[in-house]
Chains A and B, each alone.
Chain A
């Protein structure tokens, strides 16, 4: 385990991703190992989204019920408004965040979140559902909902990490990061191969000089052709004309 050489630098940012990134980099710079920050706990549970006929039927049933008639909201009695039509309970996004994260951190809610993540629900969808519910309850305004999307998503991601689940962030992107890693590895290897090939080519062509070629190895008639054509001669490995 790495031992920190110094204290943490204070970090303040308007973006949570940026703040978390800075803190992680600061931790690595201070002497922590990545294993100290994100310890490996064995193979993860794959939260893969699977096709469900039942789910699809439910969705079709819901959508077949139809949406509200245009102007329907205006027919509502003004004395009895919906909760979201009244001023929100939390006008300060900080307080709203406390409330939302407090709700998520309850054991029963955690169980449901872990179960949903393990069954393939995406973090973004869960975050949307939670915040949308809070908006429907009249707790937060739509603006606060947007502001809280990032922290709520991170909280759900942290829960997924703690439960050792390989979760989807949006849609079915379970292996997106791994795929990117693989692609990066592949690109690196291809680049490496190209460099090596280029080095070999350079080294080989540098040593081959027609005047130094032994006439016992290559017939003189061919050597004469080589001298005559010079740079026009293409390697067998070179790209042919299309």
Chain B
């Protein structure tokens, strides 16, 4: 069997599957809503599916260019609108580069052509241009309706300016800059010496070379020792020697208590540590081996993808349908799990 025969056979299978699924969905809808004809449900399904496939652009096509917020099409796209932030009304779709939105962006133009087909709009009226095939004697594909005067009123570059690397934008910027306010009087050369960089007597910093009163300190003493001697000397105080008192823990009884306390404390800490390492079986989502659940694994999109067996790195390679982008699941609490607090 050749490749094409195989493709044909596979396509027949897919078609059968689609028909089966359509029937199943029709039955499902019929269970919920009684007394509706199957063809009516089929129509509703086809319209909803087309809106989903075209990312809302079909709304513009099928409803005459706008999707009023009260209509079903406008309503169903609101979920997506909230997620992707693109406007459906006026076919201004695709402000955000997300697959669902980008489909709308791409198809917005194509769908607008459909409204031409249905006679709701005209290409010339919509785009301001008409295709060359409709104009006689025009050699190029698109004829702009912009007048020659409007084109020539733009910035014209001279040969010198082009050679000097000027661009229309730089010329425009230069011409828009006000001469009195905007001009920066930058010096063309740097001064040979820094102004006022002469030594002024009396303004020099007299950095002491020795610590005042550094007497009575043994040669080679460290900073701590020097401070201990010098600070009281500067403050005019005599450092008092603290009398060492015999504490409870220095007594025999105290020593016993101390030993017992240390042993008990160590045992308790060991137990706690062991429980921590083993993990609490009662606690939902606890992990053994003192493993700390990273935020990465509670990412809703990762969970969503894992359930579908999808690699998140290539999630946009997988076709998914609906009125919201899979990325929208970032904002939802799809997955709640007890996790250890991790300092971010």
Interface residues of A (CB under 8 A from B): 1, 3-4, 7-30, 32, 34, 36-38, 40, 67-68, 92-94, 97-98, 101-102, 105-107, 110-111, 124, 127-128, 131-132, 135, 142, 145-147, 149-151, 153-155, 157-162, 166, 169-170, 177-178, 180-181
Is there contact, CB below 8 Å, between A21 and B25?
yes
Q: Are B114 and A17 in contact (CB under 8 A)?
A: no
A residues near B10, Cβ cutoff 8 Å: 142, 146
Q: How far is the CA of A15 from the CA of B23 in the complex (A)?
A: 14
Which residues on A sit within 8 Å (CB–CB) of B58?
Answer: 105, 158
Residue of A nearest to B77 (CB): A8
* Chain B count of residues within 8 A CB distance of the other chain: 81
Residue in A111, A131, A154 whose CB lies within 8 Å of B50: A154
Any chain A CB within 8 A of the CB of B264? no
CB–CB B39/A36 < 8 A: no
Complexed CA–CA distance, A105 and B55 (Å): 13
Chain B residues with CB below 8 A from A14, complex form:
308, 318-321
In the bound complex, what is the Cα–Cα distance between A106 and B21 (angstroms)? Answer: 28
* Contact yes or no, A20 B52, CB < 8 A: yes
**Are the CB atoms of B322 and A28 closer together than 8 Å?**
no
Chain B 303-329: CB-based contact to A (< 8 A → 1; otherwise 0): 010001000000011111111111011
Q: B62 — nearest CB in chain A belongs to which residue?
A: A162
Complex-state Cα separation, A114 to B18, whole angstroms: 21
Contact of B44 among A34, A131, A160 (CB under 8 A): A34
Cα distance A19–B47 in the bound complex, in angstroms: 12
Are B319 and A10 in contact, CB atoms less than 8 angstroms apart? no
20 extra interface residue pairs, beta carbon distance < 8 Å, beyond A23-B76, A38-B40, A155-B53: A7-B79, A8-B76, A8-B79, A12-B325, A20-B48, A21-B45, A23-B322, A25-B28, A34-B40, A36-B71, A67-B2, A92-B317, A101-B110, A127-B15, A150-B18, A154-B53, A161-B42, A166-B39, A169-B22, A170-B19
Other-chain residue from B36, B54, B325 in contact with A155 (beta carbon distance below 8 A): B54
Which residue on B lies nearest to A22, using beta carbons? B322
Chain B residues contacting A67 (CB-CB under 8 Å) are 2
Tell me which residues across on chain B come within 8 A of A154, comparing CB atoms: 45-46, 49-50, 53
Q: Which of these binds chain A: B100-108, B188-196, B235-243?
A: B100-108
- Whether the pair A178, B39 counts as a contact (CB closer than 8 A) is yes
B40 to chain A: which residues have CB within 8 Å? Answer: 34, 38, 40
Q: Which of B83-134 contact A (CB under 8 A)?
A: 83, 99, 102-103, 106-107, 110-111, 113-114, 116-118
Are the CB atoms of A7 and B78 closer together than 8 Å?
Answer: yes
Q: In angstroms, how far is the closest chain A Cβ from the Cβ of B42?
A: 6
Q: Is A20 within 8 A of B324, CB to CB?
A: no
Known: A12-B322, A147-B319. A105 touches B110 (CB 8 A): yes
Q: Is B256 an interface residue (CB 8 A)?
A: no
For B102, list chain A residues within 8 Å (CB). Answer: 94, 98
Interface of B is mostly: helix
- Interface contact A105-B318, CB-CB below 8 Å: no
Tell me whether A16 and B52 are in contact (CB under 8 A): yes
Q: Give the chain B neighbours of A158 by CB distance below 8 A.
A: 46-47, 49-50, 58, 62
A23 neighbours in B (Cβ, 8 Å): 48, 52, 76, 322-323
Query: Is B28 a contact of A21 with CB atoms below 8 Å?
Result: yes
The distance in angstroms between the C-alpha atoms of A105 and B51, with both chains bound, is 12
Determine whether B287 belongs to the interface, using a CB cutoff of 8 Å to chain A.
no
For B80, the closest partner residue in chain A by CB is: A10
From B29, B43, B318, B324, A10 is in contact (CB under 8 Å) with: B324
- What are 26 sample pairs from A and B whose C-beta atoms fall under 8 A apart? A7-B75, A7-B82, A11-B323, A13-B320, A18-B25, A21-B25, A32-B75, A38-B47, A92-B316, A93-B317, A94-B99, A94-B103, A101-B54, A101-B103, A101-B107, A105-B113, A107-B114, A107-B116, A124-B11, A131-B11, A146-B11, A151-B319, A154-B49, A161-B42, A177-B39, A181-B37
Contacts of A24 in B (CB 8 A): 29, 41, 44-45, 48
- In whole angstroms, how far apart are the Cα atoms of A1 and B70 in the complex? 9
Q: With an 8 A cutoff between CB atoms, is B38 at the interface?
A: yes
State A157–B46 Cα separation when bound (angstroms).
6
Q: Which of B218-265 contact A (CB under 8 A)?
A: none
CB of B113 within 8 A of CB of A151, answer no
Q: What residues of B have a CB within 8 angstroms of the CB of A28 in the complex?
A: 29, 32-33
Closest 9 CB pairs of A and B: A158-B50, A10-B324, A21-B25, A177-B38, A107-B117, A154-B49, A38-B43, A12-B322, A20-B49
Residues of A within 8 A of B19 (CB): 124, 169-170
Give which listed residue, B47, B62, B107, contacts A98 with CB less than 8 A. B107
Chain A, Cβ-Cβ closest to B61: A105
What chain A residues lie within 8 Å of B79 (beta carbons)? Answer: 7-11
Closest chain-B Cβ to A43's Cβ sits at a distance in Å of 12
Residue pair A153, B32 in contact (C-beta under 8 Å): no
A111–B117 contact, CB under 8 A? Answer: yes
Chain B residues positioned under 8 Å from A106 (CB to CB): 110, 113
Partner of A17, one of B18, B70, B71, B117: B18
Does B16 make an interface contact (CB < 8 A)? yes
A161/B53 contact (C-beta < 8 A), A11-B324, A14-B321, A105-B61 known: no
User: Is A16's CB under 8 angstroms from B107's CB?
Assistant: no
Q: What chain B residues lie within 8 Å of A162 (beta carbons)?
A: 47, 62, 118
In the assembled complex, how far is the CB of residue A98 from the closest CB belonging to chain B, in whole angstroms? Answer: 4
Q: How far, in whole Å, are A36 and B328 apart by their CA atoms in the complex? A: 27
